[in-house]
Amino acid sequence: MSMALKQVFNKDRTFRPKRKFEPGTQRFELHKKAQASLNAGLDLKQAVALPYGEDLNDWVAVHVVDFFNRINLIYGTISDSCTDQTCPVMSGGPRYEYRWQDEHKYKRPTALSAPKYMSLLMDWIEVQINNENIFPTNVGTPFPKTFMQVAKKILSRLFRVFVHVYIHHFDRVRQMGAEAHVNTCYKHFYYFVTEFNLTDHKELEPLKEMTSQMCH
């Protein structure tokens, strides 16, 4: 990464502090293993494969947190150009509109501006990954039966951030010299969710053409 790009991505422009893994825990060791695969320049398709003898839930949990941190950072870098005025609807071009729904305030799918949607999304994900009943951090504490269902929902919603950034803000990404970084993160995410069937194919539709060129 160039020095200019490092400065962009080192700015504290994320919505929230990064979620970190506690040193000495199994999750921390898995995180290091995943990072080592990436840093070794392994093909991204190989890098996402479940390491021999490791638990799939743990592997997915580590990646969900890592993708949350990285995508939060990507959106943070373009957030100054994503406002209620420029993006009054959370969308991916004219064909795709995303409405927000949760268990509390928005019980029905509700049209929101992109920045409002993003803020609620990051809040919601943060609550999920900090919930010990969903993402247990203690060795020996089992994952709940609903874990994969929650992980899929988080990853599907994070994919929408890529959709919005690529379709509405990619000029800004290019202007900042961050294109290669964002593309690599996207490819890593795409290979991971397709390797373990963690995102519905219809969610991937908005970036289908770009993906077919980028992820051979």
pTM as predicted: 0.84
What's residue 5's pLDDT? 40
Residue 130 lies inside a defined structural domain of this protein: yes
Q: Find the CATH number of the domain harbouring 189.
A: 1.20.140.30
DSSP assignment, residue 141?
P
Asked, for residue 20, whether it belongs to a domain, the answer is no
Looking at residue 103, its pLDDT comes to 84
- The verdict on residue 36 lying in a domain is yes
- Please give the Cα distance from 41 to 189 (Å, whole number): 16
169: annotated binding-site residue? yes
Question: Which domain covers residue 47, as residue numbers?
Answer: 3-15+25-214
Q: Assess if residue 90 is contained within a domain.
A: yes
82 marked as part of a ligand binding site:
yes
> Based on the number of CB atoms within 10 Å of its own CB, is 67 exposed (0-12), middle (13-18) or buried (19 or more)?
buried
Domain-located, residue 196: yes
Residue 67 lies inside a defined structural domain of this protein: yes
Q: How many CB atoms lie within 10 A of CB 97?
A: 12
Question: Does 123 fall in a domain?
Answer: yes
Nearest-angstrom CA–CA distance, 42 and 61: 21
Q: Cβ contacts of residue 145 below 8 Å, gap of 6+?
A: none
Is 164 labeled as ligand-binding? Answer: yes
**Total domain count, the chain:** 1
**pLDDT string in tens for the chain (216-residue length):** 443 344 344 444 444 545 555 655 555 556 565 565 555 455 888 889 998 888 999 999 989 999 999 999 999 999 999 999 999 999 999 999 999 999 889 999 999 999 999 999 999 999 999 999 999 887 778 999 999 999 999 999 999 999 999 999 999 999 988 898 899 999 999 999 999 999 999 999 999 999 999 886
Residue 181 marked in a binding site: no
Q: What pLDDT does residue 203 have?
A: 95
* Residue 49 resides in a domain: yes
